[in-house]
Amino acid sequence: MAAVTAAVAVGAGMAYSANRQGAAAKKAGNAKANAAQATIDQNQAMYDQGMELAQPYYDAGGSALAQMQALNSGDFSSFNESPDFQFARDQGLQSLDRSAAARGGLYSGGADADRMAFASGLASQNYGNYYGRLANLAQMGQNQSQYMGNLGQNFGNQYANAMGIKGDAKAMAASATAGAQAGYGNALASAAGTYMGMGGGGGSMGGMNNLTGMFQGATNRKSGYGG
């Protein structure tokens, strides 16, 4: 009986230690995996917000670039329909009409020539400003494109890094269970060695089975390992 008691004491102590170490490692692995997932979620939210804020400026730049391409192709409709040019043109023509009417020559050839000269000069004066504004908008869109690209690249790098950490953590948690099982086997082997060294059971299988059952019961009561 002394051999059994000693063997169970040795084995149960080792099994308890292996169980606690395994549980601690598994808990740490799960906590690390949860922290990595929280990092992924936070980075995803920041990426989505950054893209949402940048999108209107990117779209405005794309629209401006399309208008510049149309102007370069000889389509001046966007310029002619721009509110600032229309306002200046209409106000100027009305002023010319009032002046011509006051002289009694509203429908004269001279009045028509004045209108044409005014409209042509106004268009030449305002076109450069209009094109420059479009160029500024297009540049802004290009800047936003670069920003969005960098945002995506940074998010991709952070995501890959966090997923790597999460994978390592999950592996650590999984290996903790395997380590505990191995520790249990080592504990049983040590218990058997102690038992046999003290001449317990005369080396019979019946004695070993008896030892295993007592060891299992003692381990379960001490650590809850087998439950």
| Tens digit of each residue's pLDDT (9 = 90 or more) over 17-61 | 555 565 677 777 788 888 888 888 989 999 999 999 999 999 999
Q: Across all residues in the chain, what is the average pLDDT? A: 74
Greater confidence (199 vs 171) lies with: 171
Cα distance between residue 146 and residue 142, in whole Å: 6
Q: Are 164 and 39 in contact (CB under 8 A)?
A: no
Cα distance between residue 198 and residue 217, in whole Å: 21
Q: Are 192 and 7 in contact (CB under 8 A)?
A: yes
Residue 207 has pLDDT above 70, yes or no: no
Which band of pLDDT confidence, cut at 50, 70 and 90, is reported for residue 199?
low
Q: What is the pLDDT of residue 203?
A: 45
Cα distance between residue 131 and residue 79, in whole Å: 8
Q: What is the pLDDT of residue 26?
A: 72
Which band of pLDDT confidence, cut at 50, 70 and 90, is reported for residue 211?
very low
Q: Give mean pLDDT, residues 83-98.
A: 82
| Tens digit of each residue's pLDDT (9 = 90 or more) over 111-158 | 677 777 777 888 888 999 999 999 999 999 999 999 999 999 999 998
Q: Give mean pLDDT, residues 87-100.
A: 78
Cα distance between residue 84 and residue 97, in whole Å: 20
Indicate whether this model's pTM tops 0.75.
no
